[in-house]
Amino acid sequence: ADDKDIIFETDDGSGSFTAYLTLDGSSTKVKFNVDAKWTDGVQAMFGNGEDLRIHHTSGESVIHNTVGHFYIGNLADDKDLIFQCDDGSGGTTAYLTLDGSAAYTVANKNIRFQDNVELRLGSGSDLKAYHTGTNTTFENNTGNLIFTQNTDDGDIIFQSDDGSGGVAEYFRLDGSSKLNVFSQNARVEDNIAFQCGGGNDLRILHNGTSSYIENHGGDLEIQQLVDD
């Protein structure tokens, strides 16, 4: 019969009948009207070559794709794709969100890269950050490496161990006073000159034996500007 269905019905658990499976002749669809259960180890297979398979064993759930790309998509406008898992306290929480309205990938939990696994940025993977288990390394392989602090009057602060089990500031780019501030002693090694001026005209250095103040342009003046 044109546009008619084949309907499989049985008891609904409450003393009457309900449709469980419908072969819909008008929409040319097979409709499951109630839950369908695949028992443990039985696969749901999709595609002529059975290339997409979903199954559950007694201990885990598995989705396998054996041909081509594997797409997970949310086609609803301004909606998200949310990956959830156990929150460590008996509930569930979002770990990663693909935010469709903000067009961001949002990490809702910490992300840990194992030793020697690189975080790579740029189409050519030009910036790399990784930890070897001993040392942490940042590598830039193209262009300049720029550190920028955009907060008004904010600083860029370099800290390290203070020699007593704590942490201390060693060097600071002071955004409010526009100064490079050394908070600890600074040492220039032997035969390395401290140079001033656009032409490096004033140089101070120690060669391992003697110390030198060299002026290579104009007068060399030492001034005391404090009254009395």
pLDDT at 29: 97
Task: Give mean pLDDT, residues 103-112.
Answer: 96
In whole angstroms, give the CA distance from residue 176 to residue 152: 8
pTM score: 0.82
In whole angstroms, give the CA distance from residue 62 to residue 53: 8
How many residues make up the chain in this entry? 228
In whole angstroms, give the CA distance from residue 105 to residue 112: 16
Strands 194-196 and 202-206: antiparallel
Q: In degrees, to the nearest 5, what angle opens at C-alpha 225 toward C-alphas 220 and 226?
A: 150
Burial degree of 202 (CB within 10 A; 0-12, 13-18, 19+): middle
Taking the CA atoms of residue 209, residue 213, residue 215 and residue 216 in that order, the dihedral angle to the nearest 10 degrees is 20
Task: Give mean pLDDT, residues 20-44.
Answer: 96
pLDDT one-digit tens code per residue, 164-199: 999 999 999 999 999 999 999 999 999 999 999 999
pLDDT at 58: 85
Which residues are registered as beta bridge partners of 23? 6, 30
pLDDT at 47: 96
pLDDT at 75: 97
In whole angstroms, give the CA distance from residue 8 to residue 134: 65
In whole angstroms, give the CA distance from residue 60 to residue 143: 47
Determine what percent of the chain is predicted with pLDDT higher than 90.
Answer: 100
